[in-house]
Every structure is written in structure tokens, then in C-alpha cells.
């Protein structure tokens, strides 16, 4: 599988997207050394732009990992937000708690150790301005359906890693490794759904990082 962006372009952007704090650099190093997936700096730069434009307060994240995205978004909003983020992996959950406390955002960021598909009761009473989906790639349509009615009109749903290192863009499923075919099929179905014209939402696909789908709820 190949990257979806030109390496020279990605390097150029990354070199101009500097870390804003020592904790950001530390988290990036930890993620690299421990093979923990976090958003790339170019993706993070776009997320920051979106939160500046949208000014979300209630934010929901599916897939905390070590808390990188939540901490960076909360930093950009100067703590003027409430983030609920869900992570099923206990080791990553505990590491995220550590980093959130060190960043001073334990009152703004609520981390929950549960599988996203079991989080219905947790999100039931929420009304969210921004949702960031970055969990199991084969379940994105289920995640979207879970949360759509809980997003306010004018709110945004961002789905990360939609191209899965360009594998999702293969023209035929036979070109994909057998163990990846469920993700290939389900992600393509999800993206077909998002980009079909309808009256409820509008989606654009962005070839940055490992691909983003940015959905605006009409």
C-alpha cells in the first residue's frame, strides 16, 4: 500500500507546521516509538483551521489513542470547550489520562474507556458541534449513524484515515490484500453514502494525511 500524498509536499508542509508545546513533541515521539496512530501535523493544521472557523464547544471523539487530537484541539480553543473522547484500549486510555492531566485539561476533556459501539448511553443526551471519527475503520458507517442525530445543524463530522494508505482507492477488490478487503468494501460503501447528494448533509473528501471526509450537517 502506498501513501496518498506526495512525500515532498508532505515534508514541505510538516516542516512549516511546528509543534506548539513540549508535550506535543513528546506525544509525537511516544506515538512513533510505540506505534500508536495519531493525526499527522498537516491533518492537525486543518483541524485547527476548522475549529477556528466553526468555534465548537461540545466535541465528541471516537478513538482517543493517547489524547493527542483532543489536547491539540483543546489547546487551540484555549480550553473553551467540552470534549468527550472514547477509547477501548486500556493502555492507551491510561496514557491519555496522563497526558491530559499534564496538559491541564482534565476538566475539559472526559476520556471514557469503552468500545465505541457500546457508547450509546454515554452520548445519548449530547448535542455536538464537532465529531471526530478515528476508530475502527470498518465501522465508520455505524459510527456515523450512531451520532448523526446528535449533531446540531451547522455542525461538522470529520472522518479520519478514510483512504487507509490509498488501499481504499484501488479500483478492484481483488487488488487488495485479503485481510484488508472488509475495510475496503465497508469504507467504499461509507464514502459512497457520504458523497451521494442528499438534503441532510454535504461531504467533501480531502487528500491530506491519510484522507479526511469533512461532513457539514445542513
pLDDT given for residue 58 in this prediction: 97
| Residues forming a β-bridge with 156 | 130, 216
| pLDDT of 61 higher than 90 | yes
Closest CA to 139 of 72, 86, 103, 201: 86
Q: Is the dihedral of CA 103, 215, 46, 163 positive or negative?
A: positive
Confidence band for 170, pLDDT divided at 50, 70 and 90: confident
pLDDT given for residue 16 in this prediction: 79
| pLDDT of 153 higher than 90 | yes
Confidence band for 77, pLDDT divided at 50, 70 and 90: very high
In sequence order, which residues have a C-beta less than 8 Å from that of residue 84 and are 6 or more positions away? 59, 60, 61, 110, 112, 122, 123, 126
pLDDT given for residue 17 in this prediction: 77
Query: How large is the average pLDDT for residues 5-22?
Result: 77
Closest CA to 208 of 1, 2, 10: 10
| pLDDT of 3 higher than 70 | no
Q: Express each pLDDT in 94-117 by its tens digit.
A: 999 999 999 999 999 999 999 999
Name the average pLDDT for the chain: 92
Rounded CA-CA distance 82/69 in Å is 13
Query: What is the pTM assigned to this prediction?
Result: 0.92
Closest CA to 203 of 152, 142, 140, 159: 159
pLDDT given for residue 171 in this prediction: 87
Contacts 24+ apart (CB under 8 A), 49-53: 50/130, 50/156, 50/158, 50/214, 51/76, 51/77, 51/130, 52/76
| Residues forming a β-bridge with 39 | none
pLDDT given for residue 1 in this prediction: 42
Q: Quick one: fold of 7-217?
A: Rossmann fold (3.40.50)
2-16, 80-94, 115-129, 178-192 — most confident range: 80-94
61-70, 162-171, 180-189 — most confident range: 61-70
Sequence spans of domains, the chain: 7-217
Q: Express each pLDDT in 187-210 by its tens digit.
A: 999 999 999 988 999 999 999 989
| pLDDT of 125 higher than 50 | yes
Amino acid at each position: 500500500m502506498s501513501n496518498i500524498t506526495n512525500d515532498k509536499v508532505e515534508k514541505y508542509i510538516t516542516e512549516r507546521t511546528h509543534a506548539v508545546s513540549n508535550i506535543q513533541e513528546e506525544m509525537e515521539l511516544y506515538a512513533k516509538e510505540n506505534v500508536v496512530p495519531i493525526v499527522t501535523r498537516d491533518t492537525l493544521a486543518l483541524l485547527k483551521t476548522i475549529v477556528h472557523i466553526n468555534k465548537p464547544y461540545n466535541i465528541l471523539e471516537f478513538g482517543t489513542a493517547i489524547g493527542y487530537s483532543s489536547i491539540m484541539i483543546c489547546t487551540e480553543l484555549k480550553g473553551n470547550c467540552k470534549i468527550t473522547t472514547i477509547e477501548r484500549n486500556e493502555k492507551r486510555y491510561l496514557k491519555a489520562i496522563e497526558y491530559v492531566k499534564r496538559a491541564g485539561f482534565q476538566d475539559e476533556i472526559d476520556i471514557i474507556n469503552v468500545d465505541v459501539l457500546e457508547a450509546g448511553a454515554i452520548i445519548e443526551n449530547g448535542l455536538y458541534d464537532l465529531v471526530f471519527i478515528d476508530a475502527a475503520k470498518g465501522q465508520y458507517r455505524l459510527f456515523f449513524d450512531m451520532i448523526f442525530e446528535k449533531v446540531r445543524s451547522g455542525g461538522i463530522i470529520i472522518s479520519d484515515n478514510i483512504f487507509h494508505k490509498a488501499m481504499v482507492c484501488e479500483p478492484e477488490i481483488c487488488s487488495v490484500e485479503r485481510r484488508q478487503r472488509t475495510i475496503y468494501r465497508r469504507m467504499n460503501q461509507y464514502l459512497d453514502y457520504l458523497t451521494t447528494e442528499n438534503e441532510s448533509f454535504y461531504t467533501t473528501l480531502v487528500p491530506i494525511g491519510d484522507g479526511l471526509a469533512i461532513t457539514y450537517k445542513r
